[in-house]
Structure 1
Amino acid sequence: MSLVDTHLHFDAPEFAADTAQRWARAQAAGVVHAIVPAVSCSTFDRAIAVADQFGLDVALGLHPLYLDRHEDEHLAVLENYLSQGKAIAVGECGLDFYVPGLDPARQEALLLAQLKLARRFDLPVILHVRRSQDRVLKCLRQVRVRGGLVHAFNGSVQQAEAFIDLGFCLGFGGAMTYQGSQRIRRLAATLPLSALVLETDGPDMAPEWAQGQPNDPENLPRIAAVLAELRGLPLDAVAHATYQNVCRVVPALCLGR
């Protein structure tokens, strides 16, 4: 079984004391690779260092939740890192219309600028889409990119189909493990398997069995097992399909593997 954690903030402080032990346990459980998405210029170097240490891949972006950290010149910093081949994707970037106090217009301008960088460097995008699916889709139609990953998808079937048509796969993780998350579980069970990828969002979005704890990459096989159960498929089939899906939309991840 070969699983890829498509969204692991392994540079987070919660993992700093025992990163090596956590990754060793994840590998023993069947996790073969992960994408570490940075969220601001101040985290780029740390994310790259952690990814390099464990043979992982990094994505670089300016996250909407950290809008107060981002300066206009940070786009030039991001462009410089991308020009050096430091990342396999642009992100985590996107729009967040759930948290109050985040200027929607500035968020959208920042997203559009990052989409233009992704298009320039022909890179996929890792999207944060929180109560903003339609607006993000509008941005994607305005600035076409090669596709990528929609982190923690929580939209409608119609929105899912729109993202898929634009070349994106949809991430499912801890939220899917809760019995009460009926809509997310229904999406995970019924959307095309060819459009799904797995993620932890560690240390955030812990699954049902790890509430109150940092979400560890070791949880990914159990998350995969939930998806397999929801779809009535063997775990190996889900692992194989989701691995092939991430290789398709983030091809640099699987080159040489």
Structure 2
Amino acid sequence: MQLIDSHCHLNFDGLSSRLPEVFANMAAQDVKQALAVSVSRQSFDEVFAIAEANAHIFCTVGIHPDREDAEEFSVAEMVEKARHPKVVGIGETGLDYYWCKGDLGWQHKRFADHIQAANEAGLPVIVHTRDAAADTLRLLKEGAANSGVIHCFSEDTVFAEAALDLGLYISFSGILTFKNAPLIQEAAKYVPRERILVETDAPFLAPVPKRGKPNEPSYVRHTAGFLAKLRGETLEEVAEYTTENFYRLFRKVPGLQAEAV
């Protein structure tokens, strides 16, 4: 069995100082690969270094939408960095109306630039959306995003249907396991298996039964197990199709050879 953590932040506090332990825990839980996601120019350098040093780790390039004063990547810079074999996606990017208020034209421009870079690079865009569902969908449609994923899905079935209609994948995090997430759980039952990914968003949002602890990629197994029970499937089935979906979306990531039985 093979699982993949499709979204984590290995360079963040709580993970970066203990990567050997984190990787050993991954191996123990059959989490064979992970995608380390960029949120700033500095974090790109950090996740890129981790990816370069570890064969089972890949990374993205992008600027998170939570800070107006963040130093931007130009479209050309993102496309250039995306030429490297270890850089397999653009983001995370998107819209956040929970933390950011007022005139958010800068956020829309940043999102549009990332969509353009993803299209030019031929890579998926990793989308963060919070309290901004309608505008997120509108800008993805206006930018004609070629491929992408709604990461850490926290919306409802209506949003999921609209995202699927745009050709996007849906990634479920530990939030799926929370008692106060019935709408997300309904969406998880609705989304077809060929469009589902699993993630941790580590070090945040640890799933039940690890809730309250720093999250790490090995815990994606708990989310996958919860998803399996929710959908009436086996963990092995969920592992198989979420892994296939990851490789289909992140085409630059080489698949691992099946282990001998």
The TM-score by the shorter chain falls in which range? over 0.9
Shift of 1:102: 6.7
Tell me the equivalent position of 1:212.
212
Q: Which blocks of at least 5 consecutive residues in structure 1 are unaligned?
A: none
- TM-score (normalizing by structure 1): 0.93
Amino acid at match of 1:214: P
Question: 2: CA distance between counterparts of 1:115 and 1:41?
Answer: 17
Tell me the equivalent position of 1:57.
58
The aligned runs of 1:192-211 (5 Å cut-off) are 192-211=192-211
The answer to whether the Cα contact below 8 Å between 1:168 and 1:249 also exists between their aligned partners in 2 is no
Shift of 1:255: 5.2
Question: 2: CA distance between counterparts of 1:122 and 1:189?
Answer: 30
The answer to whether the Cα contact below 8 Å between 2:61 and 2:90 also exists between their aligned partners in 1 is yes
Tell me the equivalent position of 1:45.
45
Tell me the equivalent position of 1:68.
69
Tell me the equivalent position of 1:149.
149
The answer to whether the Cα contact below 8 Å between 1:65 and 1:102 also exists between their aligned partners in 2 is no
The answer to whether the Cα contact below 8 Å between 2:5 and 2:33 also exists between their aligned partners in 1 is yes
Secondary structure, aligned partner of 2:17 = coil
The answer to whether the Cα contact below 8 Å between 2:61 and 2:91 also exists between their aligned partners in 1 is yes
Question: 1: CA distance between counterparts of 2:85 and 2:68?
Answer: 25
Over 3 Å counting, the alpha-carbon distance change for 1:191 and 1:80 in structure 2 is: closer
**1:244 to 2:251 alignment:** no
Tell me the equivalent position of 1:180.
180
Shift of 1:100: 3.5
1:97-149 per-residue CA deviation (whole Å, 9 max, x = no partner) reads 11144742110011101111111111111110111122111111111122121
Question: 2: CA distance between counterparts of 1:19 and 1:104?
Answer: 36
Tell me the equivalent position of 1:34.
34
More helix by share: 1
Q: Which blocks of at least 5 consecutive residues in structure 2 are unaligned?
A: none
Percentage of matched positions with identical amino acids? 30
Over 3 Å counting, the alpha-carbon distance change for 1:86 and 1:247 in structure 2 is: closer
The answer to whether the Cα contact below 8 Å between 1:9 and 1:202 also exists between their aligned partners in 2 is yes
- TM-score (normalizing by structure 2): 0.91
RMSD of aligned alpha carbons: 1.8
**1:162 to 2:162 alignment:** yes
Secondary structure, aligned partner of 2:21 = helix
